[in-house]
């Protein structure tokens, strides 16, 4: 079994790390470069930086920030937001990113996944999926539908079918955020995560819902996730990473 990974996520808006609930109501969480350095020093396995308004505002992502992060941290990091073409990927990798995360652009242009995998390798391409369960009386109640532009625009794509298509096109990992669980601190969407993990042959990164140490245990055991991503519990000092890793080892979870 591969060791499980702990991944702090830094949502960046106007150069500052922010954290919201259900993709809205953001509050300031600090300097993204300094936070990244702290997480690197504390034993995080990887980092994810997301320029959360780049797609919505039609901007390219933040190259200068990527360069500063690369000069500061000693662990791999992924960058997402506003990536629409191979040139964007090339610039981010040259600035020091290890992987790129594509979300809205992948849904709009699925061939981009194939192009990234072919030109840079599948290990570089993380396909992020923001999805929410459809409640009755919606026509597709019980289904998980994917959303564009930071959860602003619903699509007709089913979470599980889209994740499988992304894998078939060359994605190296799937980063699944449950919009219903985001920032709620009530636990991850373990049932959907377990189904994804059973369906796919590539790693699944869980996002949305971390509030306690037990939630991380459950996402690895019940949700079968390969990695757990979280934000506010790390940003605001609620769960120190070294303490979390000690706890998970005590629960017989193989952790890096």
CB-based burial label for 254 (10 Å; 0-12, 13-18, 19+):
exposed
Which residue among the candidates 11, 51, 182, 226 is catalytic per the annotation?
Answer: 11
Active site residue 41: no
Q: With contact defined as beta carbons under 8 Å apart, do 2 and 129 qualify? A: no
Task: Report H helices in the chain.
Answer: 32-42, 54-57, 63-70, 86-95, 104-108, 111-120, 159-169, 190-199, 213-221, 232-235, 241-250
Rounded CA separation 195/199 (Å)? 6
Q: Is 11 a catalytic residue?
A: yes
Length reported for the chain: 256
| Catalytic member of 88, 130, 182, 226 | 130
The closest of 12, 9, 42 to 210, measured between CA atoms, is 9
DSSP states of 69-97: HHTT-SS-EEEESS--SHHHHHHHHHHT-
How far, in Å, are 219, 239, 254 from residue 193 at the CA level? 8, 22, 19
Cβ(51)–Cβ(17) below 8 Å: no
The C-alpha R_g of the chain, in whole angstroms, comes to 17
Pair type for strands 144-148 and 125-133? antiparallel
Residues forming the active site = 11, 130
């Amino acid at each position: 079994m591969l060791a499980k990974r702990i991944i702090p996520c830094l949502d960046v808006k106007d150069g500052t790390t922010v954290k919201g609930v259900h993709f809205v109501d953001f509050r300031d969480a600090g300097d993204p470069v300094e936070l990244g350095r702290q997480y690197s020093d504390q034993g995080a396995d990887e980092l994810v930086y997301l320029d959360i308004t780049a797609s919505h505002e039609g901007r390219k992502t933040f190259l200068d920030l990527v360069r500063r992060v690369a000069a500061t941290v000693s662990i791999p990091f992924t960058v997402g937001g506003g990536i629409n073409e191979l040139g964007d990927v090339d610039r981010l990798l040259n600035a020091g990113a290890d992987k790129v995360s594509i979300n809205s652009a992948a849904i709009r242009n699925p061939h981009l996944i194939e192009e990234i995998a072919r030109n840079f390798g599948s290990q570089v391409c993380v396909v992020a999926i923001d999805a929410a369960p459809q409640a009755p009386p919606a026509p597709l109640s019980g289904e998980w539908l994917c959303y564009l532009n930071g959860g602003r625009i619903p699509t007709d794509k089913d979470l599980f079918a889209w994740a499988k298509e992304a894998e078939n096109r060359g994605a190296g990992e799937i980063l699944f955020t449950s919009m219903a669980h985001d920032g709620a601190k009530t636990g991850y969407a373990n049932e959907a995560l377990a189904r994804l993990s059973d369906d796919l042959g590539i790693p699944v990164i869980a996002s949305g819902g971390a509030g306690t140490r037990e939630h991380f245990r459950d996402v690895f055991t019940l949700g079968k996730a390969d990695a757990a991503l979280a934000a506010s519990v790390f940003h605001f000092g609620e769960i120190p990473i070294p303490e979390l890793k000690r706890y998970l080892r005590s629960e017989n979870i193989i952790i890096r």
